[in-house]
Chain A
């Protein structure tokens, strides 16, 4: 399924969770995986937990540490 993290569209396995998509995003951009996952919001500004379910077209926004 396709999900969008920040502005990057990622093809990820069906059943992936928020944490899976965030990890894939870091790898995709050749960034080191953070020890703790950053705060993540959905497109409506709600915080989502790392183990939250995703569906086709889900959009996530990684917040900077101080946000």
Chain B
């Protein structure tokens, strides 16, 4: 009996020793002693948050819960943290609420997305300065690195001894710049992202894991994998195309993730480095949203931003009441034309959402009431003939309502069935519009996509939200004239 007890005790001690060894292998032993064991890096990646600050309290709770399980969790953004919520976008320090929330969440790193430039050069510099984490982009160059401290890559040494390096690439459009207004990026030059990728592959020799943190769009990330030598890059965390990658996408041996947009989701990525250097990769798309337990301090911050007075402050004064869609539409379209500097601006009747605006103070919220769609501005070079074709097509498409113009006037000649017989176009001074001359014409993205008419120029997006342009216009204008007797469109049956 005594011998049996002694044997049992020895077995128990043996098990405890074994358990101790296992525990030490899981994190207590120094890094050099762990190279014989598999080691894992956990990353929580989001992208294209677009100032979805109302989801941050929930996201904060999720991140805290994951950090309790994975204390070394890396929290990473694939860029486009900015733009999409007036509370953030119209904040006195443009974009600062997002930066402060990301600081509170202890983000480790962010890519530069094209919408980071929406804060304009001074705003971007301010956001970079106030961020408690680094922004990276490898294919951007600036002469003022002090003002814009953007590094091409960032390495982390993890507690388990692994080295992980992130390199970032930003998509360029065929104008050679990111999808942003040219004025916003004038202090930068950009290099081809695909060529740039090759210049940073050497980092794999210095790191256990090499990640591209791209803002290129999913299809371009796949294209990039086809140009990379096998075994150099382990993971691409993507953004820009708002793609919901909910199942593993492995191309040329590289895992590509993306978590749609606006903090609806986040991707939990696990990279396990085997002793032989082989890396096992897995991902899981987690739902974030705004329902469920929240982090209280983040909720407090978000409530403070939502209650900020800036959206309710006067930005201009209306000298008269606006009493029709037409009057409000003329104001909107004059703002669009002035802010784009185009010859002509057009807005569809459905693009004007309120039919009254009281005399007196006009606020940012009033502008978002007029145009709540978040449509971006598109500019075309159209001949007088093409403008006429657009207006003719639009009249029927918009259920027999005319387009509101700025920079020209229109006379619709209709038949007994309300169909267009002809439209005669005039300059503002009443002269016939030149049917052959090319005019620069601005309109919203909706109009640019739904009217089918013959035109040579497919158009160019300005990557500027129409409502935001109107806010800037009104801030400069200060005093809004009366549109009570304004007549730019006439219909004759």
Contacts and interface: CB of A to CB of B under 8 A. Distances in A.
Interface string B202-244: 0000000000000001111010000000000000000011111
Interface string A32-67: 010000000011111111011111111100000000
A49 B260 contact: yes
B219 A55 contact: yes
Nearest to A57: B219
Contacts of B240: 52-53
Given A14-B173, A42-B219, A58-B219, A48 B244 contact: yes
Contacts of B249: 44, 46
B449 A21 contact: yes
Contact of A56 (B174, B241, B446, B452): B174
Contact of B261 (A12, A42, A49): A49
Given A1-B174, A20-B448, A23-B446, A13 B242 contact: no
Contacts of A12: 448-449, 458-459
Contacts of A19: 449
Contacts of B175: 14
Contacts of A15: 173, 179, 376, 378, 445, 460-463
A63 B449 CA distance: 20
Contact of B458 (A14, A18, A51): A14
Interface string A5-29: 0000001111111111101100110
Nearest to A50: B242
B411 interface: no
Nearest to B451: A27
Contacts of A33: 450
A13 to B, nearest CB: 3
Contacts of A23: 446, 449-450
A17 B209 CA distance: 33
A11 B453 CA distance: 12
Contact of B242 (A20, A24, A28, A49): A49
Interface string B288-325: 00000000000000000000000000000000000000
A13 B458 contact: yes
Nearest to B393: A27
A27 B452 contact: yes
B171 interface: yes
B244 A49 contact: yes
B218 A42 contact: yes
B244 A46 contact: yes
B378 A42 contact: no
Nearest to A23: B449
B339 to A, nearest CB: 16
Q: Which of A1, A47, A52 counts the most B-chain CB atoms under 10 A from its CB?
A: A52
B217 A53 contact: yes
B245 interface: yes
A14 B174 contact: yes
Contacts of B222: 44
Contacts of A20: 445-446, 448-449
Interface string B167-183: 00001011100010000
Interface string B369-405: 0000010101010000000000000000000000000
Contacts of B461: 13-16
A58 B243 CA distance: 12
A22 B203 CA distance: 41
Contacts of B218: 42, 44, 46, 48
Contacts of A52: 217, 240-243, 261
Contacts of B460: 13-15
A43 B223 CA distance: 13
Contacts of B452: 27-28
Nearest to B50: A51
A5 B217 CA distance: 17
A11 B452 CA distance: 11
B243 A48 contact: yes
Contacts of B173: 14-15, 55
Nearest to B379: A13
Interface string B419-458: 0000000000000000000000000011011111000001
A23 to B, nearest CB: 5
A13 B381 CA distance: 12
Contacts of B242: 18, 48-49, 51-53
A21 B241 CA distance: 13
A17 B374 CA distance: 12
Contacts of A57: 219
* 7 residue pairs, one from A and one from B, having the closest CB atoms: A15-B461, A13-B459, A52-B242, A49-B242, A20-B449, A47-B244, A23-B449
24 contacts: A12-B448, A13-B378, A13-B460, A15-B460, A15-B461, A16-B448, A17-B445, A18-B242, A20-B445, A20-B446, A21-B449, A24-B449, A24-B450, A33-B450, A43-B219, A44-B249, A46-B218, A47-B244, A48-B244, A49-B261, A54-B241, A55-B219, A56-B174, A57-B219
